[in-house]
């Protein structure tokens, strides 16, 4: 009985954690030049300099902190598009957002993302 209560309390405590405490890590890429001025999946005009990103499952308007695992630099972005289109990537950042956390020349960065 005590074992069941302990497990139940742990599960309950986990459910009460703020969404920012639940992070996911993986590869991030960036997009921009060919899409600047086009329409995003949520219907707004894409600005490659804005702090925005594409994500497969987070709702449009979600604010997410993206932290580069190698440098510790982070940026808070807003989800406004679907993606990334390339399998294995967890988020596709605008050019401006990616430039804040990594060199554009790298193209891909190991990041952790968490909702804020």
H-run or E-run covering 113: strand 108-115
The per-residue pLDDT for 17 is 41
Contact (Cβ atoms closer than 8 angstroms) between residue 95 and residue 30: yes
pLDDT per 10-residue tile (average), the chain, 116 residues: 43 43 86 89 96 97 98 98 93 97 96 97
Could you tell me which residues come within 8 angstroms of residue 15 by beta carbon, excluding any fewer than 6 positions away? Answer: none
CATH topology (fold) of 19-115? Barwin-like endoglucanases (2.40.40)
State how far the Cα of 29 lies from the Cα of 22, in Å rounded to an integer. 21
Antiparallel, parallel or unpaired: β 74-81 and 52-54? parallel
* DSSP character string of 53-102: EE-SSSPTT-EEEEEETTT--EEEEEEEE---SSTTEEEEEEHHHHHHHS
Prediction pTM value: 0.80
């Amino acid at each position: 009985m005590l074992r069941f209560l302990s497990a139940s309390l742990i599960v309950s405590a986990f459910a009460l954690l703020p969404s920012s405490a639940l992070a996911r890590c993986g590869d991030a890429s960036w997009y921009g030049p060919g899409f600047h001025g086009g329409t995003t999946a949520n219907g707004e005009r894409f600005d490659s300099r804005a702090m925005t990103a594409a994500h497969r499952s987070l709702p449009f308007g979600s604010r997410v902190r993206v932290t580069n695992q190698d440098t510790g630099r982070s940026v808070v972005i807003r989800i406004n598009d679907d993606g990334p289109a390339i399998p294995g990537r967890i988020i596709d950042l605008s050019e401006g957002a990616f430039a804040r956390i990594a060199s554009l020349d790298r193209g891909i960065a190991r990041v952790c993302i968490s909702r804020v």
